[in-house]
Amino acid sequence: MNARIEKISQILDQNKAEAIEVFDLKGGDYFADYVVIASSLNERHTFALLDYLKKGLKPEEQFLGVDESGDWIAVDLGDILIHILTPQYRSKYDLETFLSEIAARKAKA
């Protein structure tokens, strides 16, 4: 796994994010090469994790876009997407199943 993904995962892990998963979609039919998903403890923790990422990744990483709500934050780094969700939203939207299917299609190609 590349150093950028490892740094993102490390920042999330050190700041109490849970169930961190990385999906390698490089070379597949998805618009990002990697997707990182992590669960926050609650809404305040979701925003705090975003702040930790901003402090830990800048100036090396350029944040192209950030879509913020208390339950779900999506960070666009271009080739990497980071999703931080409360457990309720993570369960409701089940991104893992969707991304696993994309990764499986990529592996078959």
CA distance 105 to 91: 23
* Cis status of the peptide bond prior to 59, with omega within 30 of 0: yes
pLDDT tens digits, the chain, 109 residues: what are they?
599 999 999 999 999 999 999 999 998 888 999 999 999 999 999 999 999 999 999 999 999 999 999 899 999 999 999 999 999 999 999 999 999 999 888 777 6
Predicted model pTM: 0.94
Give SS3 for 3: helix
Dist CA 79 CA 46 (whole Å): 22
- Note the CATH architecture for domain 3-98: 2-Layer Sandwich (3.30)
Output the CA–CA distances (angstroms, integers) from residue 100 to 40, 59, 64, 103, in the order listed. 21, 31, 25, 5
Domain borders along the chain are: 3-98
